[in-house]
Amino acid sequence: MNHEQAIRIRERLLARLPAARDVLRGSLLDRTIRHRSGCPKCHRGEGHPVSVLAVGYPGGRVRQISLRKNQVAGVRRSLANYRKLKSAIEQICESFRRVVLILDGDDGGRKATARIAAQLAGKCSVGLVAVPNGSQPDQLNRAELAALLAGNFGQEEATR
């Protein structure tokens, strides 16, 4: 694959990525809550339908969060975005031997970088670029970006 082909593939994959703030990992469950006594609806066996977001953590811990009806559509969309992101990461790993992550220099960007790097681990070589606190990669000028990338590539590659 030549340089131009790699750029086209990368751009096509990047265009499909959702914004990091619109990504949510977990499972959406539909449950029915039934009260033990005092509720006519539960006494008839109907119960109360509720949606629950279940998020698993290391060590087997699972946190369940009850959702209001108006939150369910947004959670579904964010869960779908997570699956899209995961699929794109797999395709990136298949296409490139080395991936350099350069996300925003805020808490959200650092957390997303760590999460994506963990998913890429063992699948391809991953380079992490630390963006100055509060900065965004698209706001850096060419010289600042080249200086940040120089730690992950040779100087010649960083300035392309």
pLDDT score, position 151: 66
- pTM as predicted: 0.56
Cα 51 to Cα 32: distance, rounded to the nearest angstrom? 9
Q: pLDDT: is 71 or 11 the higher one?
A: 71
Query: Which of these, 117, 137, 135, lies nearest to 126 by C-alpha position?
Result: 117
Structure tokens at 18: 């959702």
Encode pLDDT of 2-11 as tens digits: 778 777 877 7
pLDDT at 155 exceeding the cut of 80: no
Cα 52 to Cα 62: distance, rounded to the nearest angstrom? 12
pLDDT at 77 exceeding the cut of 90: yes
Encode pLDDT of 100-132 as tens digits: 888 888 888 888 888 888 888 888 788 888 888
